[in-house]
Amino acid sequence: MAVKIEASWEVDIRSRTDTVVLAGIASVIVLLHLLTNSRYGFHRDELQFLSDARHLDWGFVAYPPFTPFVERISMDLFGLSLVGLRLFSVLAQAVVVVVAGLMARELGGGRLAQATAALAVGLSPLALFEGTEFQYTSFGFFWWVLIAYCFVRLLKEENPRWWLAIGVLTGFGLLTKYSIVFYIAGVLGGILLTRTRRYFLSPWFWTGTAIAFVICLPNLLWQVHHGFISYHFLQSIHKRDVGEGRADGFLPRQLIMGFAPLWIPGLIGFLRSERYRLLGWMYVITLALFWAAKGRDYYMGEAYPVLVAMGAVLGEQWTAALSERLRWAIRTVFFVLLAGFAAYVGAILVPLASGGPLKRFALSRNGDFREEIGWTELVRTLADIRDSLSPEQRASLGIVVGNYGEAGAIEILGQAYGLPTPISMTNSAWLRGYLEPPPTTLILVGFSREWVERNFTSCRLAGHNGNAEGVRNEESVYHPDIFVCGPPREPWAEFWKEHLSFG
Where do the structural domains in the chain lie, given as residue ranges? 17-226+263-363, 375-498
What pLDDT, on the 0 to 100 scale, is given for residue 12? 73
Compute CA distances 439 → 60, 80, 400, 435, whole Å: 26, 29, 10, 7
Compute CA distances 95 → 50, 138, 146, 390, 449, whole Å: 24, 11, 9, 54, 48
Cα–Cα distance for residue pair 413/419, rounded to 1 Å: 9
Which string of DSSP letters, residue by residue, matches 222-235?
HHHHTTTHHHHHHH
Which string of DSSP letters, residue by residue, matches 1-48?
-HHHHHHHHHHHHHHHHHHHHHHHHHHHHHHHHHHHTTSS---HHHHH
The helix (H) or strand (E) run that includes residue 482 is strand 481-485
- Residue ranges of alpha helices (H) inside 321-395 are 324-349, 356-365, 367-370, 375-387, 391-395
Answer for the pair 502, 232: CB distance below 8 angstroms, yes or no.
yes
Answer for the pair 92, 114: CB distance below 8 angstroms, yes or no.
no
Backbone angles phi, psi at 401, to 5 degrees: -120, 155
Answer for the pair 396, 390: CB distance below 8 angstroms, yes or no.
no
Residue 330: what residue type? I
What pLDDT, on the 0 to 100 scale, is given for residue 6? 47
Cα–Cα distance for residue pair 415/141, rounded to 1 Å: 33
- Give, as one character, the DSSP assignment of residue 374: S
Q: Which residues of the chain have pLDDT under 70?
A: 1-11
What pLDDT, on the 0 to 100 scale, is given for residue 10? 65
Answer for the pair 400, 471: CB distance below 8 angstroms, yes or no.
no
The helix (H) or strand (E) run that includes residue 474 is helix 474-478
| Polymer length of the chain | 503
- Give, as one character, the DSSP assignment of residue 422: P
Answer for the pair 68, 46: CB distance below 8 angstroms, yes or no.
no
The helix (H) or strand (E) run that includes residue 180 is helix 180-193
Digit-coded pLDDT (tens) for 424-465: 999 999 999 999 999 999 999 999 999 999 999 999 999 999
What pLDDT, on the 0 to 100 scale, is given for residue 230? 97
Residue 122, SS3 per DSSP: helix
What pLDDT, on the 0 to 100 scale, is given for residue 11? 62
Digit-coded pLDDT (tens) for 421-432: 999 999 999 999
Residue 72: what residue type? R
Burial class (CB in 10 A: 0-12, 13-18, 19+), 496: middle
Alpha carbon 226 to chain centroid distance? 24
Give percent helix, percent strand, percent coil of the chain, each to the nearest 5: 70, 5, 25
